[in-house]
């Protein structure tokens, strides 16, 4: 029996109560504020700063990402709903390239293992 099977009820219950407790926040996020282009941009840029990304012009970077056509590593064309990730130098925080989600995850994984 897997962990999930054994704890399925507890996990589902936890998930449900998280939703109940955060309903307003979740609904606001889904329906309004962050779908607004300005709110989305501010939220994204704040997240970049929090993760230590360094850029001369965050707004320009945001537009660059938005308009990116393909992943720099695997060259797969982005679909409108694809997650676009910013690859950055983990030493300096400087932006490097725009990657698809799976390339970005693989890169992180590699960095983790080699350290």
The CA-atom distances, in angstroms, between 113 and each of 78, 106, 108 are: 28, 11, 9
68 vs 71 by CB, closer to Zn ion: 71
42 vs 73 by CB, closer to Zn ion: 73
Among residues 45, 73, 78, 93, which is the contact residue for Zn ion, using CB under 5 A? 73
100 scored as a contact of Zn ion (CB under 5 A) = yes
CA distance 34 to 91: 31
Among residues 74, 83, 96, 109, which is the contact residue for Zn ion, using CB under 5 A? 74
CA distance 71 to 85: 9
Residues in touch with Zn ion (CB under 5 A): 71, 73-74, 100, 103
């Amino acid at each position: 029996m897997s962990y999930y099977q054994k704890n399925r009820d507890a996990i589902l219950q936890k998930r449900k109560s998280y939703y109940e407790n955060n309903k307003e926040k979740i609904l606001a996020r889904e329906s309004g504020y962050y779908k607004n282009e300005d709110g989305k941009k501010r939220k994204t840029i704040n997240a970049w700063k929090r993760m230590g990304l360094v850029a001369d012009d965050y707004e320009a970077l945001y537009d660059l990402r938005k308009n990116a056509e393909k992943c720099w590593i695997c060259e797969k064309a982005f679909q409108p709903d694809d997650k676009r990730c910013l690859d950055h130098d983990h030493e300096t925080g400087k932006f490097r390239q725009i990657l698809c989600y799976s390339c970005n995850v693989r890169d992180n994984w590699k960095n983790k293992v080699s350290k």
